[in-house]
Structure 1
């Protein structure tokens, strides 16, 4: 398993955007062109090329020769490389990608003020109780911990929101470890959180517990 991150410390320059666009499919170029905000297009583009770069380095293929498809519930995969599972997430200035030989899910969330009523609607009773029992000054932080962990679980399962958010429970313990109360008949999985930015919460969910200790940071220049 490897986990990669890109911090968008500055906007992409036009020549960089043009170069990165040359690596992706016509469908992805069209999708990027539909975004109203340029930053959204850049995040989507960087996520796609990040996966291509990792596969290219691993297998010695050209980035533009890799084809992506989507599974029934929207999770992307590369059929020519069946021993690789990957997942992309982006929020704010961060783009992350987790790659493994087994199903994997990743999520990063930029923290912002939010109503905890959302947790009451979508989280399990256990999670909601944990959230309310957290010190008031820490509730927003823990909310985003829960949200990123649950999203990584959903994405690892590859079933989209056909798997209800309240059908399982996650808990971040004081020692930093994550416990998961699985839905019935669900395959075992493990979750690890990563602190890459004080304004963000990030989690990765995998089929085993052999997580890397840190995130490998990539620069624009490496993708170009």
Structure 2
């Protein structure tokens, strides 16, 4: 399941819905906007745990080898989903699935060659230069790569230029791809673009509002490992 939320209009007041261990970590962030956006993403995760998986508590959270947060899998992992969170200026995103998943959302920003060359392979760069307006395609390409490395659990420690998605550069919003046995879904939300990657043939994201989160916010707490 994929959830999206507008953080500009609905982020205020969500932090109290989170478990204390997460609130404490978010409160250490000096950037208020980043704190609220991250809080939204975690609130979406709590919503999914309650509505999709019937959980009444937060499963214990631990950090993977590369620092990605994940639920500890016990007793066969029943009722404990895999998840991926992302946020950008104005939007938050959460993807949950029964297997590994990666999700990324990024606000569309001006095209800068120096920045794009840091993550685009040479073939991808050549494809981008063929477009009259490569700005949107460059952001979509970034979300493709971010979602993929999140799925892998490696994060951006990988040289993103070693990954080649040049055949996706010309895709449009809402495009779906089956690559290396994985399903990719791309889309637009406001002035942001997103990609989700995993073994599921993804349906359309659900747009969530604060009132829905408040109604579902009755999860008991467990600790961060």
Indicate the residue corresponding to 1:191 in structure 2.
Answer: 184
Could you tell me whether the CA contact under 8 Å between 2:111 and 2:138 is conserved in 1? no
Quote how far apart the aligned CAs of 1:179 are. Answer: 6.7
Distance 1:163 1:9, change over 3 A: closer
Distance 1:102 1:18, change over 3 A: closer
Match of 2:202 among 198, 201, 211: 211
Could you tell me whether the CA contact under 8 Å between 2:70 and 2:83 is conserved in 1? yes
Distance 1:159 1:55, change over 3 A: same
Match of 2:96 among 75, 95, 99: 99
Gaps of 5+ in 1: 181-186
Indicate the residue corresponding to 1:66 in structure 2.
Answer: 59
Matched, 1:5 2:27: no
Question: What TM-score does the superposition give when structure 1 sets the normalisation length?
Answer: 0.82
Could you tell me whether the CA contact under 8 Å between 1:192 and 1:205 is conserved in 2? yes
Deviations 1:114-138 (A, max 9, x none): 4112222321111111111111xx2
Question: What TM-score does the superposition give when structure 2 sets the normalisation length?
Answer: 0.82
Where do 1:73-152 residues align within 5 Å? 73-80=66-73, 82=77, 84-135=81-132, 138-152=133-147
Alignment partners' CA distance in 2, 1:84 and 1:12 = 24
Deviations 1:33-68 (A, max 9, x none): 1222322111111211211221122343334x4322
Quote how far apart the aligned CAs of 1:142 are. Answer: 0.9
Alignment partners' CA distance in 1, 2:188 and 2:119 = 24
Query: CA RMSD, aligned part only?
Result: 2.2
Indicate the residue corresponding to 1:54 in structure 2.
Answer: 48
Indicate the residue corresponding to 1:41 in structure 2.
Answer: 35
Quote how far apart the aligned CAs of 1:145 are. Answer: 0.9
Aligned length: 206
Gaps of 5+ in 2: 215-225
Matched, 1:220 2:219: no
Which structure is richer in relative contact order (CA contacts within 8 A, separation 6 or more)? 2
Alignment partners' CA distance in 2, 1:96 and 1:12 = 13
Indicate the residue corresponding to 2:194 in structure 1.
Answer: 202
Deviations 1:136-187 (A, max 9, x none): xx2111110111111111111111234320222113245744475xxxxxx6
Could you tell me whether the CA contact under 8 Å between 1:24 and 1:49 is conserved in 2? no
Match of 1:24 among 10, 19, 23: 19
Could you tell me whether the CA contact under 8 Å between 1:11 and 1:39 is conserved in 2? no
